[in-house]
Amino acid sequence: MTNAKVRDIAADENVEQSFLKALSLLEQAHRRLHDVVKDNLERNGERSLTGVQALLLYEIGESETPASALRARGSFAGTSMSYNVKKLQEGGYLVQSRSSDDRRTVRLKLTPSGKAVRNRVSSLFEKQSASLEPTASVRSDDLDQLNKSLARLERFWSDQIRYQL
């Protein structure tokens, strides 16, 4: 076997190992985000929501949002979102209504309780973004590179599905 072939095999193994490590870290970071949001809510006396539900309220935002827009952004899967919307509505955090133009379209809007949770999550993110560099040595250019890489990875996976690669 030539030296070039050995280097190519080693490079392929390195890419595979880095890819698998990245997948693991993505999953861990996603779970930890839910934990951090839940912990912050509990410290503020809000014990009835999960981290996923609080992030859903955050994603809905200040105005009325179509449920399909949240799905299209890739924020939440359909069945998980349906369950959580139901629980949030039962808990008095949001209201859902049908569009008068298209009865198939469900629109979501936060109640005052939902807005309070959204504001808490927003404050948490503001506080964390300000402490990233001094506490975790994460700089703006690190986040820019991470965002570019994650966008490419998401596009790669979308193409895998779209073009059945």
Residue 92 included in any domain? yes
Mean pLDDT of the chain: 89
Residue 154 included in any domain? no
Tell me, what's the pLDDT at 9?
Answer: 60
Tell me, what's the pLDDT at 12?
Answer: 73
Residue 155 included in any domain? no
What's phi and psi for 91, nearest 5 deg? -80, -5
Residue 147 included in any domain? no
Judge contact between 49 and 63, C-beta under 8 A. no
Residue 71 included in any domain? yes
* Per-residue model confidence as pLDDT tens digits over 54-92: 999 999 999 888 888 887 776 676 568 889 999 999 999
Tell me, what's the pLDDT at 104?
Answer: 76
Tell me, what's the pLDDT at 6?
Answer: 55
Task: Identify the CATH number of the domain in which residue 60 sits.
Answer: 1.10.10.10
Judge contact between 154 and 74, C-beta under 8 A. yes
Residue 77 included in any domain? yes
Residue 96 included in any domain? yes
The neighbouring-strand residues paired with 106 are 98
- Provide the number of structural domains found in the chain: 1
Neighbours of 93 (CB within 10 A): 26
Give me the mean pLDDT over the 31-52 stretch.
95
Tell me, what's the pLDDT at 8?
Answer: 62
Tell me, what's the pLDDT at 22?
Answer: 94
Residue 105 included in any domain? yes
Cα 131 to Cα 50: distance, rounded to the nearest angstrom: 24
Question: Is the pLDDT reported for residue 127 higher than 90?
Answer: yes
Cα 79 to Cα 77: distance, rounded to the nearest angstrom: 6
Cα 65 to Cα 77: distance, rounded to the nearest angstrom: 16
* Per-residue model confidence as pLDDT tens digits over 1-36: 666 665 666 667 789 999 999 999 999 999 999 999
* Per-residue model confidence as pLDDT tens digits over 99-111: 777 777 889 999 9
Tell me, what's the pLDDT at 11?
Answer: 66
The range of the structural domain enclosing residue 39 comes to 3-137
Give me the mean pLDDT over the 132-157 stretch.
95
Q: CA distances (Å), 158 to each of 57, 71, 150, 154, 155, in order? A: 26, 14, 12, 6, 5
